[in-house]
Amino acid sequence: MWQKIYFDLDNTLFSYEYAFQHAIKDTYLELLEQWEAANLSVPIVPLDDWFEVFKYFSDVYWEDYQNKAISQRDYRRKRYMETMRHFQLPCSPEEADQFHNRAYDRALDYVQPYPGLYPLLQCLVDHQFEVGVITNGHAHIQRRKCRKLGLEHYIPDHHIYISEEIGLVKPDPAFFRLVHGPCCPPEAALFIGDAWEHDVVGALEAGWQAVYLNTQNRPRTTSHRPLAEFQHLYQFYQFIQDFLCSTSHTNNRSGKEGNEA
Ligand SMILES: [Mg+2]
């Protein structure tokens, strides 16, 4: 039986892709308004056309960024500058930075939970699992996402582990080992995440069990074997409910086992 059940944050508890795409589109429309207000004479490029090309260049340079051939800042600059040049729109590296800063800030407005998140967390809390989050990223941004999701109603602040604060980054197994601590055997800890190498491989290498929440339909890149794979968070909720029924888990103080649906 698990003692600890931890989750990744982005694209595991909510769709970061959805938030990011809406924020990028809003920021482009804001840019058009700025150009118009400044009476700048630029080609008129409809939002959908612009975004399609932006997405294209995002994909083109993604592998270089993943392979660490280019930095995050250069990745963002390249996709922005190439898109702007494609449409003969004005651009500069500094504007690319400003554009992304505005967009990433705005993305937080679009953070909304995946279906089933709250019943799932309530079920886990009711059954007295230790529930938490292990996420890579900047502390102030990740914490804003957690607040936006209302995670404080289910997860205490000290069970939210953020790479910037801890000084360890997934998939380093040491990050997971630090979370399970000396009192919990690693196999009594379960991690759920959408990134194969960061989440699944990292957790398994630390001795945890892992569930691959493949929300972006990406192939596995190693032969590691997770406990299960799902595409949607609510499927994990069903899995947990079935598991609790099959094991007649008795840790439930509320006596409402099986009624969560
Ligand atoms: Mg993720």
For the chain, give every domain's residue range.
4-15+114-247, 16-110
User: How much distance in Å is there from the Cα of 196 to the middle of ligand 1?
Assistant: 9
CATH number of 16-110: 1.10.150.240
Q: Is residue 257's pLDDT more than 90?
A: no
* SS3 (DSSP) at 168: coil
User: How much distance in Å is there from the Cα of 113 to the middle of ligand 1?
Assistant: 14
User: Tens digit of pLDDT for each residue in 45-98?
Assistant: 999 999 999 999 999 999 999 888 999 999 999 999 999 999 999 999 999 999
Question: What percentage of the chain reaches a pLDDT higher than 90?
Answer: 91
Q: Which pLDDT does position 248 carry in this prediction?
A: 67
With a CB cutoff of 8 Å and minimum separation 6, the contacts of 35 are 42, 90
User: How much distance in Å is there from the Cα of 52 to the middle of ligand 1?
Assistant: 23
Please name the helix (run of DSSP H) or strand (run of DSSP E) that holds residue 143, with its range, or none.
helix 139-149
User: Tens digit of pLDDT for each residue in 182-235?
Assistant: 988 999 999 999 999 999 999 999 999 999 999 999 999 999 999 999 999 999
Task: Report whether 181 contacts 189 (CB < 8 A).
Answer: no
Please name the helix (run of DSSP H) or strand (run of DSSP E) that holds residue 2, with its range, or none.
none
Q: Which pLDDT does position 247 carry in this prediction?
A: 83
User: How much distance in Å is there from the Cα of 97 to the middle of ligand 1?
Assistant: 23
User: Tens digit of pLDDT for each residue in 110-160?
Assistant: 999 999 999 999 999 999 999 999 999 999 999 999 999 999 999 999 999
User: How much distance in Å is there from the Cα of 201 to the middle of ligand 1?
Assistant: 13
What are the tokens at 235? 């499927």
What are the tokens at 146? 């957690």
Q: What is the pTM of this model?
A: 0.86
Q: Which pLDDT does position 255 carry in this prediction?
A: 39
User: How much distance in Å is there from the Cα of 192 to the middle of ligand 1?
Assistant: 10
In terms of CATH architecture, what is 4-15+114-247? 3-Layer(aba) Sandwich (3.40)
Q: Find tokens 């590296």 and name the residue.
A: 93
* SS3 (DSSP) at 7: strand
**Considering only CA atoms, which of 56, 61, 91 is closest in space to residue 76?**
61
With a CB cutoff of 8 Å and minimum separation 6, the contacts of 250 are none
